């Protein structure tokens, strides 16, 4: 299992936004190249980077991808990049800038025909982001229900040449209140592709349970930055 350190980019800095609802910057952790070097120095195999400005329609942090990629290239680590990836031009820009995977959310959920074509154009390079309240998929910044069941969507999407799925439980993401385990097993058992989980990972015991359930990877943000989870210990447990 892979531990993905989370790097949320906002106005050129790695930050923590309150409850991930884009209301206010709570903490500025540092510059992207510095934070990337920190995780790579501890042996990170992947970095999970989200461009919050792009997600908000307020500019882009794509130039930072080149800086992060330059660091990652030295260790052989790879990058998955999301935030504001809503069309094929954005997918291509992210991949051309050095990301191994482009993460697509609402567009992939709302526009099946587009997803089929995009997956065919970029086989193994698109990861579908599924933001869920349990199994109910939420879209448009978690504000609206897509009217789609996460497990049913995955069962259908398994036929496409996707990189995998990123499931975030938006009811607990960024709150430090623990994981909602209810949908996890169903998602792992249904998917034929790698599934990365995010939301509520706060303890080393959470890491152990995700591994036990068969997760391909987990994304840890606040718990790593605040020292609740030690990256080296988590990586050793996950291996």
131 catalytic per annotation: yes
Of residues 84, 82, 44, the one with CA closest to residue 65: 82
In the set 13, 58, 88, 131, the catalytic residue is 131
Determine which one of 8, 87, 88, 230 is catalytic.
Answer: 8
Q: Per DSSP, what are the bridge partners of residue 101?
A: 80
End-to-end CA distance of the chain: 6
Degrees to nearest 5, angle at CA 87 with 199 and 139: 35
Has 96 been annotated as catalytic? no
Q: Give me the helices (H) in 56-130, please.
A: 62-75, 88-96, 106-110, 112-121
Burial of 48 (0-12, 13-18, 19+ CB in 10 A): buried
Q: Which residues are catalytic?
A: 8, 131
């Amino acid at each position: 299992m892979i531990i993905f350190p989370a790097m949320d980019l906002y106005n050129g800095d790695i930050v923590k936004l309150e409850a991930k609802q884009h209301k206010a910057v709570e903490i500025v952790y540092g510059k992207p190249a510095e934070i990337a070097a920190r995780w790579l120095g501890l042996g990170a195999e992947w970095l999970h980077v989200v461009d919050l400005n792009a997600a908000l329609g307020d500019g882009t942090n794509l130039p930072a991808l080149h800086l992060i990629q330059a660091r990652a290239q030295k260790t052989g680590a790879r990058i998955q990049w999301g935030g504001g990836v809503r069309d094929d031009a954005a997918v291509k820009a992210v991949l051309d800038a050095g990301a191994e995977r482009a993460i697509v959310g609402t567009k992939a959920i709302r526009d099946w025909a587009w997803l089929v074509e995009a997956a065919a154009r970029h086989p193994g390079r698109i990861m579908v982001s599924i933001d869920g309240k349990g199994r109910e998929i939420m879209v448009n910044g978690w504000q609206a229900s897509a009217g789609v069941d996460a497990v049913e969507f995955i069962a259908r999407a398994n036929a496409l040449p996707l990189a995998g799925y990123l499931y975030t439980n938006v009811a607990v993401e960024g709150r430090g209140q623990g994981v909602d385990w209810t949908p996890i097993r169903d998602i792992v058992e249904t998917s034929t592709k790698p599934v990365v989980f995010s939301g509520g990972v706060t303890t080393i015991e959470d890491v152990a349970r995700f591994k036990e359930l068969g997760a391909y990877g987990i994304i840890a943000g606040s718990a790593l930055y605040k020292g609740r989870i030690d990256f080296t210990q988590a990586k050793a447990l996950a291996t």
